[in-house]
Amino acid sequence: MTQSALIDHFLQVRAETLARVAPLSAEDCQVQSMPDASPAKWHLAHTTWFFETFVLERFEPGFEPHDPVFRTLFNSYYQALGPQHPRPERGLITRPGLAAVLAYRTAVDRRLLALLAHRPDSARDALVGLGCQHEQQHQELILTDVLHLLSLHPDRPGCAAEAPMPLAVAADLQWQQHEPGWTWIGHDPTTDGNFAFDNEGPRHRVFLQPYEIASRPVTQGEWLDFIADGGYRRPELWLSLGWDWVQAGRRDSPLYWQRSASDAPWSVFGLRGVLPLDRQAPVSQISWFEADAHARWAGARLPSEFEWEHAARSGLAQTGQVWEWTASPYSGYPRYQPAPGAVGEYNGKFMCNQFVLRGGSVATPAGHFRLTYRNFFPPAAQWQFSGLRLARDV
């Protein structure tokens, strides 16, 4: 990427974050609805902290922090950079207020653009690129975290009339068959673009048994059939931990499904508010446990992340509406080594007790989709735009 392209990309990413919070009030931006979700104000500050800490602190001559307190308040999880404010208590950070956080963004933007006016520096520019990708990840979290917050409001208000929501997919399901064989997995800089997170490599070969994969994600209509067939009441469909999770939460439907009585039609809450269930829209906001149980009920299984990537390279259809849970535990590829220093904490240290999701969702910012992208969440996490696509052995 040229210097001017990097600057344009940086400005575009920073503006998109502000566009996503534009429909929110200062109060919307403050509150933390659960320990896993962060206030929008914290996202605004933390993404700025990332540029200040990883770029300005290292490369700006005579660096002075914007506010030394921010170093702890807005550090998410980087132990090498010192202490962090506890994640479940991010909503208690009432100061700085929203206006001061927006001023922090403006100040860091100005300093970063001044730095980028100097001649290119590959280490610096790579970190600016990483900071942009990092901010795009938080852009999606802003929407999923706000959605969770608004789901707890008694009126379940929408975020905005034009907010993203998964739309109907093709009604008929085709099975796409794949022969057994070796396949290359992971980011290839010669054909896949110049950026990937470290967890998308090293590129390596994997042998796949013959399999077939569905031409579209599972729909809300199919999920209704699963519920009607006792999906949430039949322990034989669930893994042991998943069944415990169903019982403990008394779960009988996806996170944002609601109905006024047991014989009333279902509605689904989303960023546009509560809308009638759409049988052809992909099911979303489901946990890995639910995805796994549904696949078993359907006489299928979740694809491995390698099957997904292999199929995607030959043209998997109807991706990009919901992240697709895979059967693959999140771990390092063969010979994976995190980068040295604090930035090495970005992905590698989370490779335990999580599952990989592939694709991308309606909340994923444009330009942030990659065939090799590995999103990851714990198996009980429901609040993302997460769905599933079925696969079967051949």
Q: Which residues bind Fe ion (CB under 5 A)?
A: 76
Closer Cβ to Fe ion, 139 or 304, answer by number: 139
Closer Cβ to Fe ion, 76 or 133, answer by number: 76
Closer Cβ to Fe ion, 76 or 382, answer by number: 76
Smallest gap from residue 140 Cβ to Fe ion (A): 11
Pairing of strands 355-358, 175-178: unpaired
Smallest gap from residue 76 Cβ to Fe ion (A): 5
CA 261 to chain centre: 33
- Cα(267)–Cα(60) distance, rounded to whole angstroms? 52
CA 100 to chain centre: 27
Closer Cβ to Fe ion, 131 or 273, answer by number: 131
Smallest gap from residue 150 Cβ to Fe ion (A): 22
Closer Cβ to Fe ion, 30 or 76, answer by number: 76
- Residue 258, H or E segment: strand 257-258
- Cα(123)–Cα(144) distance, rounded to whole angstroms? 32
- Cα(107)–Cα(114) distance, rounded to whole angstroms? 11
Closer Cβ to Fe ion, 76 or 386, answer by number: 76
DSSP character at residue 112: H
Smallest gap from residue 77 Cβ to Fe ion (A): 8
The 3-state DSSP class for residue 268 equals strand
Smallest gap from residue 47 Cβ to Fe ion (A): 7
The 3-state DSSP class for residue 123 equals helix
Continuous H helices in 22-173? 26-30, 40-51, 57-59, 70-73, 98-116, 122-151
- Cα(127)–Cα(130) distance, rounded to whole angstroms? 5
Distances (CA, A) of 302 to 99, 251, 365: 45, 21, 25
Residues 6 or more apart whose CB falls under 8 angstroms from that of 121 comprise 59
Minimal CB distance residue for Fe ion: 76
The separation between the first and the last C-alpha atoms of the chain, rounded to the nearest angstrom, is: 43
Percent helix, strand and coil across the chain, each rounded to 5? 40, 15, 45
Smallest gap from residue 275 Cβ to Fe ion (A): 31
Closer Cβ to Fe ion, 151 or 347, answer by number: 347
CA 354 to chain centre: 13
Sequence letter at residue 394: V
What tokens appear for 301 in the block?
């299984």
Smallest gap from residue 37 Cβ to Fe ion (A): 13
Closer Cβ to Fe ion, 76 or 364, answer by number: 76
User: Going along 271-354, which residue ranges are E strands?
Assistant: 273-276, 323-329
Smallest gap from residue 346 Cβ to Fe ion (A): 8
Closer Cβ to Fe ion, 40 or 316, answer by number: 40
Smallest gap from residue 350 Cβ to Fe ion (A): 12
